[in-house]
Structure formats: C-alpha cells, structure tokens
Amino acid sequence: MPSQASSPTYATAKGFCITSAFWMMVATFMGLLGATELIAPDLLENVGWLVFGRVRPIHINLVLFGFVTPGLLGAAFYYLPRLLRTDLYSEKLGVITVLIWNLSLVSTVVSLSAGYSQGREYAEMIWPVDMLVVVMFLLVLYNLIMTVRQRREPVLYVSVWYACAAIVLTSATYCLGNVIWRPNTGALVGIPDAILLWFYGHNIFGLLLTPLALGVTYYVIPKACKAPIYSHTLSLIGFWSLLVVYTHIGTHHLLQAPVPTWLKVISIVDSVGMVIPVMVVLINIWYTAKGRLGEIHADVGAKFVFTGTIMYFFVSIQGSMMALPQVQRVTHFNNWVVGHAHVGVLGFSGMIALGGLYYVLPKLAGKPLFSKFLADFQYWMVLIGVSGFTIVLTIAGLIQGNAWLNGETVYRVLPEVHLYYVLRASLGLMIFTSALLGFYNIIRTLYFNTGEFSS
Amino acid sequence: MKMTPLAILVGSLVLLMTIVFVVVIMPWFTTRDEAPSDIFRARTAAEEAGRATYIANGCVYCHSQSIRTIDWGIGAERIAQAGDYIADRPILLGSQRTGPDLSQEGGEHPDDWHMAHFVNPRYARPLSIMPAFAFLGKDDINTLTAYVQSLGLKDADNRLKRQTFWKEESILAYEAGPVENVDWLHHQVPEGWRNIPNPYPTSEAGLARGHKIYQDFCLGCHGPIGDGMGPAQPYIYPPPLNFTTLKGRGVSGGILYYQIMNGITGTAMPYFKKDLESEKIWEVGNYVAVYFINETDADAEPKGIDAAYEP
C-alpha cells in the first residue's frame, strides 16, 4: 500500500544496481585473471601492475565493495522507502553517494594495481581511499536515518533493522579495522594488529554482507510467497544474536598463531554458537516459504535469494566446523578456505545480491525484465560455478592440507593441485561470462527495454 | 520487544563497543608489550625498504610468516612466538600457503640464488607458480632480497654468515680450476659417504624417474644436458656445476647423494632433503651419473644385501 506523494524515480536504487552489475564484471574478471596466473605464471610476465599479488586484493575488494554491497544496497534503496511508506530522504544525495562509491572503486583499482597497499587482508586500501569509503558509508547512513525519521509507517520491518545495523556498524568497524588514525601505515604493531585485522576482516562478512543479505531475504521471500514472516520472535532473536555472536569469532583465523588462549577459546565457542543466529533466521525464512516454493521458483529474483539461503546454511555449518582446531590442522592455509570464502561471498551474499537486483529491477524500470531467460541462465551459471568452486577447491585444500601434515613440502604439492587450479579457472570463466550477460540484461531492462523479450 | 530506530542504532553500537572491548582492547592490553623473543632484532633501512616492496606486491597472499607446531617445511625448527613480531607494522602472518612459509627463509639461500629466483622463479625452481619479478628492477630486487634474508632475524643472521663464509671458499675453489673445484666439492662430503657406491642397480624405470626429478628440481641451474647452462646460470656465481667435469675424478654415488641431500652451503645449490625422499635422491643421482657423467657405480660392491624389490 505505497502512499508516496509523487511517483518515485528510484535513481539511487538504479545507480547501485548498475554499479553492482558493472563491477561484478570487473571483479570476476580479476578473479579469473588471478586464477589463470596460478596455472600460467608467465602469461603476463613482468606486467607489474597485473602481478598476482596485486590482482588478488583488487578481486577481493571489488567483489566485496563493488559487486555484493552495492547490489544489496540497490535492493535496499528500493525496499526501504516502501517499507517506511515514504520517499527516500534525498535521491540527489543518493546519486552523489553512488558517484562517490564508484570513485572509491576506481581509486581502489588504480592504487592497488600501482602497488599502493597497506598489506592487510580486506584492509589494503590506502588512507585517502579509506576516507572515500568512510564518506560513502556515512552518506548512506545519513540518507537512511533521515528516511526512517520521515517515515509514515510506525512499525519498523526486519529488513530495516538489518539495513540500519549493517551500515552503522560497518561505518564503525571500517574505521577501527583500517586504523584510520594512523594514515601512513593503517596498522598496529605485531600480534595486536593480527587480532584487530581479523576482528575487522571477519566483520566485513558478519556486519556488512550478512545483515544486508538477510535484509533483502526478509523482504523478497515473504513478498514473493505473499505470506507474512513466520515468527516475529525468531526475527528478533536472529537479529540480536547475529550481532552478539558473529562479532566474537574473528580470532578463529589465528588459532595456530601466538595469540592469547582465552581469546582463541572465545572464538571457537562462539563459532560453534553461530549455529543459533544462522538456524534461527533460516528456520524463520524457510517456514515462511513452506508450501510456497512454486511462487519462489516462478520469480527468478526470489529463486536467487532462496538459493542464497541454502548456501548460507552450508557456509555457516562449514564455518563452525572449520573453527575446530582439529579440523583446522588440515584446512588452514590452503584452498579449502578459498572454497569456503566463495560459498559465502558468491554463493550466499552474491546470490542474494543478484536476487535482490532481479527482484527489484522490474519495479524500478516499470517493465518486466528484459530477458527472464538470461537471468535464469545466469542463475544456473552462478550456481554451477560456485558449487564447482566448492568441490574443486575443497579437494585441492584436502590434498594440500593432508600432504603438508604428512611432511610434504609446498613445492612438492604444486603439481598435485595444478589440475584443480585449471578447473577453478574454467569455472571462473563461467562466472565471468554470467556477469557479462547479467550486465547486458540489467542495462537493457533499465534503459533499452522494448518489453518482454522472452518468457 | 519494540524495535525503534533508537533501539536498533544505539543497541547495536553499544553491543559492538562491548564486544570490541572484550575481543580487541583486552587482548591489546595483554599483547601490546610483548617482550622481544630470543631471535628478535630491529631491521635495517634496506630491509625495511624491501618489506615495503613485499607489501606493495602482495607477497603476503601466497607466503605466510607463521610457523605452527605441525609444520615440517622451511623454518619448522622454530615455532613462531609473539615476541618475533614486535616490530611488524603491519604484521604479515598471511592466510595462504600457495608458496612456502617464509618465517625463517633468511639464509636458506645465498643472495645470487634469490636474484635468479626473483628474475624468474622457474629459473631456480622449475615447478614454481610464483610470478616473475624482473619488472621491479635490480635495486628493488636487492632490497627485497635483503628483507627476505632478514626473515628469521638473529637466526637468519647466523645462517647468512655461514652462507657468506662458504661463498668465499666456493669461489676460491671454482677459480682455482676444474680439478681443484671437483676436489674441493668432494671434500665437503664426510669421508664415509665418499666411499659408498650407489647400492641400487641401474634400471630403465629408475632412470625415467630420475629424469623426472631432474626436470622438476635441477634443470633450472644445471640445464637440460647437465652442462650447468640452465636459465639461472647468468645470475649465479660460482656458476652451476657442469657435470662432465666430474668424469674420471673419483665421484661416487655416495658423494652425489650427500650433495643433493645436504646442498652445498655458500653456493646456489640448495639441500633437497625436505623435498625428496631417499629413493628419489638415489635415482636422480644415478640419472646424472649415467647420462651426464657417463660413469656410474650403481650396484657396485660394497652394497650389502640386495634390496627386496630387486628382480
């Protein structure tokens, strides 16, 4: 029952959708390039700005801040005004935010490829780029809070909680994790630096991607099913327990490093405890969709989102298991973890970002998707790609981890994992191709949409 | 519970602050004044410059600097301690071992090996998937090498001192001529080992396996025909050995085995005992003896009881 005074332009939502679709192409290309360099290390011999060690952080930061986050925000800037029964506080500010966002992504690519890096995983960007990132998060936050303030709907829906929390908490942890009070290095010294870094790095997933993705899920699934949320109590428990539990567990990245034992114990216990926030949310969502899977299957956006929830189940259960020291003896330092990261970021939050995009795009454009077939095709390519990544990288990781435990050197194991690197790159090619199709489909839907192209 | 904007914003921020206090600030209090470990020393300006190059090129994504109790590879002699890292801003523990851990890499090789390896890693290690870093230029490679040679700090200094001492000795031997050089090389092997022939008979299958090991480990320096003219040769001094100079100069299976197992510290010849099991060392040694030296003592007496697998 929207009651906007004027018909909204959704300029901000559209801007974030296009940002996400565009940077998904660049980000997945960088991943493909890095994967290819691992099987053909002299392919770009002595092209310094594309050396593997610079391509990898570009890939990761573009996936996080270029593809997934803007995709989830694209949906959020559509659902927030509707859930709050008002207009976005300022579309103009929103569009400026999108521009700054893209500027920060361009600066990320340029600075990292030129070798300006702070060398801390997920916190590589140098201080001036950090400042752009902080500004863009604060602008989103301001627009969001002002929209909430002018709302005409007294009750705040779950998606609104998640969106607000994600933006406010990430604004804080980004500053903290990037040590922005030390512009030259962006780092602490020694072991405290490792503890802070993994607190922050883990919360990029826990306090940014996960809540934004759950916000989209809580919006899309009930809408597509035309059913109310199964339980308000579960929504509440899921929300607060996520904030409490997820934030404690970053140190499970450091179980084999000399950090205080009590901190390791906290991280292990709470990693296992993650089963609570995860299952509470999933039970809530899955019971909402119970008996209504046909409706979800009929909507390609909802299909992406629902698949994302299944991936969330797998990645979280796997993550809890990986925090156990006995498991980590095998999985740490090898491709198992890379597989895990891809299920989490591409399978869970990436799938949901794409689902959010495809769900809101027809509403933003006022017309159906340019091609439902292309969107469906992309769904299968991403699903096969990310499942393939998981299988291939898990096998490679098990080979590496067990060989190392058995006393084989890293060098000796390289030929044993070569095949899996080749398979990984081929799957990467699928993901990259799907990003190209997705970009084409999204642009055609928004701007050159002549109506239903195929059904 | 009524979820008002204030409840969400203030509630989540208060939670975050509490948790930051527990999992970041409390550990900071207990770990920030870590005492230096027994191997700790400050880095020189050149080593710091090399560390900046290491960070700029993302070496940390493939190389950890964190030796665990369960490790067997390079540096496994010393488990990481918090006091090793007290000058590291940022700390470079790493999260992947696409390449080996480098915590104790300093002094594992002499500088000339690093130059060949940085110009193109496959010159020194044929199966490596590390990128070539010739684009950095000679100066940056030199500071990067200084940093890598400092990894392990005081332990690295000891190893490097050993490398430097034996580098001078090996150059003297090389420059004295092939006869003296071969004699010097043989005398780096304990006498007992020198007198041991290769106890296993030459077989076609064994030579084929030796050939594969040679290609995967030796070819970069000694070259495909064993003349010491592999792609790493221009960077290495004393240059890689031309195996034909060993002919008729008293080489034995035992000498070859020992040199492959233990390396020749000071020269670019690394030890392979972590990479290769016993059978592989005997077989690559015999491959070199048969094909490049054209003189093998395989299966010669004294060899003891024949091994069970022999036909």
Give DSSP secondary structure letters for B91-106: ----S--SS---TT-T
CB count in 10 Å sphere of residue B72: 12
Question: CA-CA distance, B242 to B228, in Å (whole number)?
Answer: 4
DSSP state of A345: I
**Is residue B255 included in any domain, yes or no?**
yes
Q: Which of B114, B125, B241 is nearest to B188 (CA)?
A: B241
Is A196 in CB contact (< 8 Å) with chain B?
yes
Taking the C-alpha atoms of residue A425 and residue A415, their distance in angstroms, rounded to an integer, is: 16
Tell me the residues of chain A between 52 and 81 that have a Cβ less than 8 Å away from chain B: 52-54, 56-57
Domain that holds residue B252: 176-293
| Same domain, residue pair B50 and B138 | yes
- Interchain contact A186–B (C-beta under 8 A): yes
Of the three residues B133, B159, B185, the one that is the final residue of a domain is: B159
Cβ–Cβ gap B19/A193 under 8 Å = no
Neighbours of A384 (CB within 10 A): 14
CB nearest to B86's CB, from A189, A333, A400: A189
pLDDT tens readout for residues A171-185: 999 999 999 999 999
User: What DSSP letter does each residue of A271-306 carry, written as one string?
Assistant: HHHTHHHHHHHHHHHHHHHTT-HHHHHH-HHHHHHH
Asked if B104 contacts B158 with a C-beta cutoff of 8 angstroms, the reply is no
Torsion A62-A63-A67-A73 (CA) sign: negative
User: Smallest Cβ distance to A248: which of B23, B85, B128?
Assistant: B23
Q: Are residues B110 and B185 in the same domain?
A: no
- Give CA–CA dist B286/B272, Å, rounded: 16
Q: List C-alpha distances in Å: A293 to A122, A163, A353.
A: 37, 26, 20
Q: What is the pLDDT of residues A348-405, one digit of tens each?
A: 999 999 999 999 999 999 999 999 999 999 999 999 999 999 999 999 999 999 999 9
Whether residue B185 is found in the same domain as residue B282:
yes
**ipTM score of complex:** 0.95
Identify the pLDDT of residue A131: 97
In this complex, do B13 and A243 lie within 8 Å of one another by their Cβ atoms? no
Specify whether B180 is located in the same domain as B288.
yes
Residue after which a domain boundary falls, among B159, B190, B222: B159
Alpha carbon distance A149, A145 (integer Å): 6
Q: Give, in order, the Cα–Cα distances in Å from B56 to each of A62, A273, A448.
A: 18, 38, 43
**pLDDT value at position A452?**
54
**What burial letters (b/e) apply to A94-131, b meaning 16+ CB within 10 Å?**
bebbbebbbebbebbbebbbebbbbbbbbbbbbbebbb
Count of CB atoms within 10 A of residue B29's CB?
9
Domain endpoint, select from B159, B189, B224: B159
Q: Do A193 and B91 touch (CB under 8 A)?
A: yes
Give SS3 for B201. Answer: coil
- For B:129-188, CB contacts with A below 8 A are 129-136
Check whether residue B151 and residue B187 sit in a common domain: no
User: Residues of B with CB below 8 A from A48's CB?
Assistant: 57, 135-136
Asked whether the predicted pLDDT for residue A2 surpasses 80, the reply is no
Question: Which percentage of chain A shows pLDDT scores above 70?
Answer: 97
Using alpha carbons only, how large is chain A's radius of gyration in Å?
21
Is residue B22 one of the residues assigned to a domain? Answer: no
- Return contacts of B118-122, CB within 8 angstroms, 24+ apart: B118/B144, B118/B145, B119/B235, B120/A42, B120/A45, B120/B231, B121/A41, B122/A41, B122/A42, B122/B220, B122/B231
Opening angle at CA B64, ends A248 and A117, nearest 5: 80
B131 and B200 in a single domain? The answer is no
Q: Which of A361, A373, A356 is nearest to A447 (CA)?
A: A361
Asked if the bond preceding A362 is cis, omega within 30° of 0, the reply is no
Contact of B18 with chain A, judged by CB distance below 8 Å, is answered with no
Q: How far apart are CA B173 and CA B171, in angstroms?
A: 5
CA quadruple A313, A315, A318, A324: dihedral sign: negative
The reply to whether B150 and B185 lie within a common domain is no
A195–B28 CB contact, under 8 Å:
yes
State how far Cα A220 lies from the chain centre: 17
Is the Cβ–Cβ distance between B192 and B289 less than 8 Å? no
* Structure confidence at residue B301 (pLDDT): 87
Residue with tokens 């903290």: A176
Tell me the pLDDT of chain A averaged across its residues: 95
SS3 A357: helix
Q: Which two tokens stand for residue A201?
A: 């790095």
pLDDT number for residue B191: 95
Give residue A451's pLDDT. 62
Residues B5, A145: C-beta atoms closer than 8 Å: yes
pLDDT in tens, chain B (311 residues): 789 999 999 999 999 999 999 999 999 999 999 999 999 999 999 999 999 999 999 999 999 999 999 999 889 999 999 999 999 999 999 999 999 999 999 999 999 999 999 999 999 999 999 999 999 999 999 999 999 999 999 999 999 999 999 999 999 999 999 999 999 999 999 999 999 999 999 999 999 999 999 999 999 999 999 999 999 999 999 999 999 999 999 999 999 999 999 999 999 999 999 999 999 999 999 999 999 999 999 999 888 888 888 88
Q: How far apart are CA B104 and CA B94, in angstroms?
A: 14
Are the beta carbons of B268 and B240 closer than 8 angstroms?
A: yes
Question: pLDDT digits over B190-245, tens only?
Answer: 999 999 999 999 999 999 999 999 999 999 999 999 999 999 999 999 999 999 99
Residue-level pLDDT at A37: 97
Q: Does B127 touch chain A (CB under 8 A)?
A: yes
The answer on B206 and B112 residing in a single domain is: no
CA distance B296 to chain A (A): 27
Q: Let me know whether B193 and B103 are in one domain.
A: no
Same structural domain, B63 and B146: yes
| Domain count of the fold of chain B | 2
Candidates B5, B55, B57; nearest CB to A148: B5
Question: Please, what are the domains in chain A?
Answer: 11-444 (1.20.210.10)
Q: Judge: B88–A190 Cβ closer than 8 Å, yes or no.
A: yes
Written as six digits, the tokens of A200 are: 């922050």
Q: Is A400 in contact with A324 (CB distance < 8 Å)?
A: no
- Give the max Cα distance, chain B: 92
Residue B274 lies in a domain: yes
Set of chain A residues whose Cβ sits within 8 Å of the Cβ of B132: 41-42, 45-46
Residue B19 contacts A where some CB pair is shorter than 8 Å: yes
Q: Is residue B164 part of a domain?
A: no
Flag whether B134 is in a domain: yes
Determine the distance from the C-alpha atom of residue B212 to the mean position of all C-alpha atoms in its chain, rounded to a whole number: 20
- Predicted confidence band of residue A3 (pLDDT cuts 50, 70, 90): very low
Q: Which of A57, A121, A195 sits opposite B24 (nearest CB)?
A: A195
Is B90 within 8 Å of A118 when comparing Cβ atoms? yes
Provide, as residue numbers in chain B, all residues whose Cβ is less than 8 Å from the Cβ of A195. Answer: 23-24, 27-28, 31
Mark yes or no for CB contact A333/B64 under 8 Å. Answer: yes
**Could you give phi then psi for residue B32, rounded to 5 degrees?**
-75, -30
pLDDT reported for residue B307? 87
**In chain B, which residue's Cα lies nearest the Cα of A265?**
B23
Count how many Cα atoms sit within 13 Å of the Cα of residue A395 in the half-sphere of its side chain.
14
Helices (H), A323-407: 325-331, 335-342, 351-365, 372-405
User: Does residue B19 fall inside a structural domain?
Assistant: no
Instruction: Let me know: does B123 contact A32? Beta carbons within 8 Å.
Output: no
Tens-place pLDDT, residues A35-59: 999 999 999 998 999 999 999 999 9
Residues 323-362, chain A, touching B (beta carbon < 8 A): 329, 332-334, 337-338
pLDDT tens digits, one per residue of B80-110:
999 999 999 999 999 999 999 999 999 999 9
A117 touches chain B (CB under 8 A): yes
Q: What is the pLDDT of residue A453?
A: 45
Determine the angle formed by the axes of helices A11-39 and A52-61, rounding to 10 degrees: 150
- B61:A56 CB<8 A: yes
Q: Are A248 and B22 an interchain contact pair (Cβ–Cβ within 8 Å)?
A: yes
* Same structural domain, B193 and B252: yes
**Same domain flag for B64 and B115:** yes
SS3 (DSSP) at A88: coil
Inform me whether the pLDDT recorded for A440 exceeds 60.
Answer: yes
A455's tokens? 């059904």
**Closest residue of A to B101, CA-based?**
A410
Output the pLDDT for position A449: 76
- Chain B: residue whose CA lies nearest to A153: B4
Size of interface A-B (CB pairs under 8 A): 237
CATH number, domain at B124?
Answer: 1.10.760.10
Considering the domain boundaries, does residue B96 fall inside one? Answer: yes
Nearest to A168 among B13, B94, B125 (CB): B13
Q: Is residue B307 part of a domain?
A: no
